[in-house]
């Protein structure tokens, strides 16, 4: 018994005093992660809580839409290798994916008797792209447990001008109907794959109320340090249970 205890103590000392493991962290998404301190804050939390060193591979700058992210996933060898080797992956749907159909809607060139045909078609394609993205990530991970977390943006994005849109109340209502449907699709898909999700921002600032101004920089578009911290804190609160992607 005494010998066993000594072995346990020695194992602990070697583990705690030896070099830290290195985890690769792949970032997929848009300005929510790119133009904020979310990534670095979350990486620092992981390093502190899991006693590892994080190497960040930020691919959020390479995309403008779900379709472009999907294209990189299919054909960019560097991107594919990064995903295949990652211990940590965070991703969010790029809201700019709907910029083209929404622009056509605003101009009255969307089609259909209600001027919404391009929105229906556009969001159907975005859903397909999103599912394909997760399928590719699952294939590249090939059953390896991974710390995967998905961020879902609230419909405040349409009302605050977060993505540079100036909309009428009627346009906001129409956009929000498609936006919320997309949110529900992402949440249901993540649930089916057992991937934890983070709502941005926490209630009541997800879909019910506009987030406080201090969550953003003075331009009212990009996240402030406080807004970034709230998101990173939320990711941390989800814990560190890895996921075997389906």
In this predicted structure, the answer to whether residue 239 has a pLDDT above a threshold of 70 is yes
Q: At what angle do helices 225-237 and 38-50 cross, to 10 degrees?
A: 40
Q: Which of 60-69, 87-96, 99-108, 180-189 has the lowest mean pLDDT?
A: 60-69
In this predicted structure, the answer to whether residue 162 has a pLDDT above a threshold of 80 is no
Q: How confident is the model at residue 109 (pLDDT cuts 50, 70, 90)?
A: very high
CA atoms in the 13 A half-sphere facing the CB of 81: 3
Q: State the DSSP code for 184.
A: H
DSSP β-bridge partners for residue 56: 25
Nearest to 176 by CA among 164, 158, 200, 160: 158
Count of beta carbons in the 10 Å neighbourhood of residue 25? 22
Q: How confident is the model at residue 62 (pLDDT cuts 50, 70, 90)?
A: low
| Res 1: pLDDT | 46
Integer CA distances (angstroms), 108 to 33, 116, 117, 217, 225, in order: 32, 9, 11, 32, 38
For 57, the enclosing helix (H) or strand (E) is strand 52-58
What is the average pLDDT across 52-65? 83
Q: pLDDT tens-digit profile of 23-49?
A: 999 999 876 766 678 999 999 999 999
CA dihedral 10, 11, 12, 16 (to 10 degrees): 100
In this predicted structure, the answer to whether residue 7 has a pLDDT above a threshold of 90 is no
Q: Name the token pair of 43.
A: 């990486």
88-92/147-153 β-pairing: parallel
Backbone angles phi, psi at 200, to 5 degrees: -115, 110
| Res 212: pLDDT | 92
For 226, the enclosing helix (H) or strand (E) is helix 225-237
Residue 246 CA to residue 241 CA, distance in Å, equals: 15
Q: State the DSSP code for 19.
A: P
What is the average pLDDT across 95-110? 83
| Res 75: pLDDT | 94
DSSP string of 72-127? HHHH-HHHHHHHHH-SEEEEE--GGGGHHHHHHHHTT-S-TTTT-HHHHHHHHHHH
Give every strand in the sheet of 88-92, ordered side by side. Answer: 52-58, 21-28, 88-92, 147-153, 197-200
Q: Which domains, ranges and CATH numbers included, belong to the chain?
A: 20-237 (3.40.50.1110)
Q: What is the mean pLDDT of the chain?
A: 85
pTM: 0.86
In this predicted structure, the answer to whether residue 128 has a pLDDT above a threshold of 60 is yes
Between CA 74 and CA 166, with CA 175 as vertex, the angle to 5 degrees is 105
Q: Which residue has the higher pLDDT, 155 or 211?
A: 211
């Amino acid at each position: 018994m005494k010998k066993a205890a000594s072995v346990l103590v020695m194992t602990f000392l070697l583990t705690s005093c030896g070099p830290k493991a290195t985890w690769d962290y792949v970032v997929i998404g848009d300005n929510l992660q790119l133009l904020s301190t979310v990534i670095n804050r979350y990486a620092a939390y992981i390093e502190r809580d899991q006693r590892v060193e994080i190497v960040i591979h930020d691919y959020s700058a390479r995309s403008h839409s779900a379709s472009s992210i999907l294209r990189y996933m299919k054909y960019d060898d560097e991107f594919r290798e990064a995903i295949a080797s990652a211990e940590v992956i965070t991703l969010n749907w790029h809201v700019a994916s709907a910029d083209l159909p929404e622009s056509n809607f605003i101009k009255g060139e969307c089609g259909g008797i209600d001027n919404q045909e391009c929105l229906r078609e556009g969001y159907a394609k975005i859903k397909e792209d999103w599912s394909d993205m997760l399928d590719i990530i699952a294939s590249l991970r090939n059953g390896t447990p991974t710390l995967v977390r998905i961020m879902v943006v609230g419909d405040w994005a349409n009302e605050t001008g977060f993505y540079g849109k100036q909309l009428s109340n009627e346009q906001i209502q129409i956009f929000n109907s498609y936006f919320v449907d997309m949110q529900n699709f992402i949440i249901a898909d993540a649930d089916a794959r057992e991937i934890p999700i983070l709502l941005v921002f926490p209630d009541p600032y997800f879909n019910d109320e506009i987030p406080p101004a201090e969550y953003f920089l003075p331009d009212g578009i990009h996240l402030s340090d406080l807004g970034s911290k709230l998101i990173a804190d939320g990711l941390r609160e989800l814990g560190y249970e890895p996921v075997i992607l389906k």
